[in-house]
Chain A
């Protein structure tokens, strides 16, 4: 057993809750957009298949929203329960975006409730569709506001610190800190990408199982087109994020790339392992690539880990997370672009089994990439909770029993996961598409 240390257990519990929440939060941001697209296309083309798609996605979505809501409530409270010292200091600045996030969520919750219960209530189909707009806006705004809080913790701005007390606050400067643009853009774009892939994986699964109804093909077409757009966007934004890191958090980028010594024409290290002596082995080095990633210039100088205090370095394990995230991102881009190209130029070929398998795999992989990305971002700013101002240890609670709470929440998340999967499976198994197409008289 590990010795009881409230800081360690607070970190583990926060990490667990966030890792669990982020799965549901990510699809919570992205899926409303997909539902809206499907319903809109359905109305515009007068195609009931798309409307059914929206309806069935929405039905499954509610189950995941429920878990997103309750785990979101959990992390909201846990911030004060596990990090009271941090909240007492930073609460002076981050309360504004958190407050706004609650408003956005409130807005979304109201309209989602209405949307779900008014499918056949309005004469004009468009009225029902319009209810989704506040849901999409609310979901994305929630993502926006809460990401600014995280960005603030990475790049604190808009205040002065005097003897441990925050003064001279500029709330807008704090919200729109240097990390905000790239972080928010990356979070939103990857959320849309992930949601599209998760939904595409469902369609691909049906097609692989030999259900060749046009409904599944339409689902695949819509989701893959969206995925291709956001895969490209995510990659471009990822590049901007690299340049941001090089300028504002060079230690994070250096740790991700195992870049120890400051040098020009820095190579990018792919894969590999780090042995006990600190030598990188089995890695693939791409010359100049890190300099290009960091500054857009192959001859640029990239700051190495040697420039920082030993006790302020992020753990070097983040390299694996970074590589996994980027690797999966590339894979998703490849698969979705391949689909679009085949669909455009070699009609029908887009349903070959290899590609379908790739799409199916892309669903869980995209979620994994989200996890890897967040692990990289969060572990990469250790030992700071408020970068450069407050260490994680200073922010944590001093309460006893944080370990017990960790076990309690592990149990909770296991129960929620099992129930969620059971309910979703039962929901769609007992009412397959083919059946619902008939009962609604769409066939």
Chain B
């Protein structure tokens, strides 16, 4: 495997990691706000906060890792995406900033206000929408490149069917992933009231998630037929994804093995996400930038990979410890610690 492929695989894995942990976080913020508006706050908030409090900072790092890493392996992405994404990127930063800091203000400060909670809930849905713009423009057709100048055609972006399907998929899958995880967590905590509410959310959001996925497929066929053809070559991955989806929803429906069901959810998104990523190759930004253009020099690629492996030796045990203490410790989960 060449360095370019290793590089993009590493980065894609981090983006996948972010997709899962951030979805749980974003969705939880929304559910937390939604349930307090509908008068069910006392049922679910305790469970949500027990999970989120120790991990919110870690979630953020996955994203930082991705955008620092991509500039490291593929410095030219800084030029293309950096120039084009000034506005959506800045908006995403502002939303992330408000969200991150208000989480801390709300939970570590004295009992926060309803306004903080609203901010937290609303940004949870707006951030995935603003971040998904990156995936949309990577399909090409929104970037105008003329000689020394390039800019993002907002008119095309906002009137495009495909770009809206991506936004919808981003939002509903956030809610679906989050609800599935929280169902598992609430059940583990033996918090049956919260569990019932959350299981309802999980089942409810499964339908729009699968429908939005299909919609994105169809829209991509219209928008970028070349990419769509390549996705068909990897049809087995998407079929597998659908099977994992059915298995996950089945288990939640039958109310058993919630841990396994969440693993199925993760596999459902893993297969779809890697399938999408693999079929997008070699393009980073269709048709302007491939992973082979403007790749970093060989010395740096090797060094980055070495550092990455060394870093994993540090991170994996630490993450394991974090999960041992807050995710797989029944005493903690059940609120006895």
Contact of A96 among B58, B72, B79, B86 (CB under 8 A): B72
Is A176 interfacial (CB-CB < 8 Å)? no
In whole angstroms, what is the CA distance A59 to B4 when docked? 44
Tell me the smallest distance from the CB of A106 to a CB of chain B, in Å: 5
B318-A107 in contact (CB<8A): yes
24 intermolecular pairs with C-beta atoms under 8 Å apart: A70-B101, A72-B64, A73-B96, A85-B79, A87-B78, A88-B75, A91-B78, A92-B75, A95-B68, A95-B73, A96-B304, A96-B307, A99-B69, A99-B304, A100-B307, A106-B315, A171-B300, A400-B151, A408-B94, A409-B94, A412-B94, A415-B98, A416-B97, A416-B101
**Which residue, B82, B92, B103, B148, has most C-beta atoms of chain A within 10 A?**
B82
Which residues of chain B are within 8 angstroms of A409 by Cβ–Cβ distance? Answer: 90, 94
Which residues of chain A are within 8 angstroms of B93 by Cβ–Cβ distance? Answer: 73-74, 77-78
Stretch at the interface among A116-124, A243-251, A278-286: A116-124
Contact of B54 among A114, A169, A426 (CB under 8 A): A114
Is B63 interfacial (CB-CB < 8 Å)? yes
Is B71 interfacial (CB-CB < 8 Å)? yes
Which residues of chain B are within 8 angstroms of A107 by Cβ–Cβ distance? Answer: 314-315, 318
Q: For chain B, what secondary structure do more than half of its interface residues adopt (helix, strand, loop), or is it mixed?
A: helix
Tell me the smallest distance from the CB of A75 to a CB of chain B, in Å: 9
A110-B318 in contact (CB<8A): yes
Which residues of chain A are within 8 angstroms of B307 by Cβ–Cβ distance? Answer: 96, 99-100, 103
Chain A count of residues within 8 A CB distance of the other chain: 76
Stretch at the interface among B200-208, B240-248, B291-299: B291-299
CB-based nearest B residue for A90? B75
B299-A84 in contact (CB<8A): no
Contact of B65 among A102, A118, A169 (CB under 8 A): A102
B151-A427 in contact (CB<8A): no
A106-B58 in contact (CB<8A): yes
Stretch at the interface among B28-36, B104-112, B167-175, B189-197: B104-112
Is B211 interfacial (CB-CB < 8 Å)? no
What would 8 more interface pairs be, CB under 8 Å, given A114-B322, A399-B83?
Answer: A63-B108, A70-B60, A81-B90, A87-B71, A95-B296, A113-B55, A423-B109, A427-B108
Which B residues lie at the A interface, using CB under 8 A?
53-58, 60-61, 63-65, 67-69, 71-73, 75-87, 89-94, 96-98, 100-105, 108-110, 148-149, 151, 294, 296-297, 299-300, 303-304, 307-308, 311, 314-315, 318-319, 321-322, 325-326, 337
Is A366 interfacial (CB-CB < 8 Å)? no
Within A51-71, the residues touching B (CB, 8 Å) are 59, 62-63, 65-67, 69-71
Contact of A405 among B53, B60, B86, B319 (CB under 8 A): B86
**Which residue, A66, A78, A424, has most C-beta atoms of chain B within 10 A?**
A66
B315-A398 in contact (CB<8A): no
B322-A63 in contact (CB<8A): no
A63-B315 in contact (CB<8A): no
Contact of A118 among B57, B77, B108, B325 (CB under 8 A): B325
Contact of B108 among A59, A92, A109, A415 (CB under 8 A): A59
Is A397 interfacial (CB-CB < 8 Å)? yes
> With A59-B108, A99-B69, A423-B109 as given contacts, are A398 and B149 in contact (CB-CB < 8 Å)?
yes
In whole angstroms, what is the CA distance A402 to B90 when docked? 10
CB-based nearest B residue for A111? B318
In whole angstroms, what is the CA distance A59 to B109 when docked? 8
In whole angstroms, what is the CA distance A58 to B201 when docked? 36
Is A192 interfacial (CB-CB < 8 Å)? no
Which residues of chain A are within 8 angstroms of B315 by Cβ–Cβ distance? Answer: 103, 106-107, 110
> With A63-B109, A71-B97 as given contacts, are A408 and B303 in contact (CB-CB < 8 Å)?
no
B110-A430 in contact (CB<8A): yes
The 6 A-B residue pairs whose C-beta atoms are closest, nearest first, are A95-B72, A91-B75, A84-B82, A66-B104, A87-B78, A423-B109
> With A87-B75, A109-B57 as given contacts, are A102 and B105 in contact (CB-CB < 8 Å)?
no
Tell me the smallest distance from the CB of A182 to a CB of chain B, in Å: 25
> With A65-B57, A106-B61 as given contacts, are A99 and B105 in contact (CB-CB < 8 Å)?
no
Is A105 interfacial (CB-CB < 8 Å)? yes
In whole angstroms, what is the CA distance A116 to B94 when docked? 26
CB-based nearest B residue for A402? B86
B67-A77 in contact (CB<8A): yes
Is A219 interfacial (CB-CB < 8 Å)? no
A109-B61 in contact (CB<8A): yes
> With A85-B79, A96-B304, A107-B314 as given contacts, are A167 and B64 in contact (CB-CB < 8 Å)?
no
B54-A88 in contact (CB<8A): no
Which residues of chain B are within 8 angstroms of A408 by Cβ–Cβ distance? Answer: 90-91, 94
B90-A405 in contact (CB<8A): yes
Is A36 interfacial (CB-CB < 8 Å)? no
Is A98 interfacial (CB-CB < 8 Å)? yes
A401-B300 in contact (CB<8A): no
> With A73-B97, A87-B78 as given contacts, are A169 and B90 in contact (CB-CB < 8 Å)?
no
Which residues of chain B are within 8 angstroms of A67 by Cβ–Cβ distance? Answer: 101
B299-A169 in contact (CB<8A): yes
B67-A80 in contact (CB<8A): yes
Which residues of chain B are within 8 angstroms of A171 by Cβ–Cβ distance? Answer: 299-300, 303
Tell me the smallest distance from the CB of A115 to a CB of chain B, in Å: 9
Tell me the smallest distance from the CB of B75 to a CB of chain A, in Å: 3
Is A76 interfacial (CB-CB < 8 Å)? yes
In whole angstroms, what is the CA distance A72 to B9 when docked? 25
CB-based nearest B residue for A89? B75
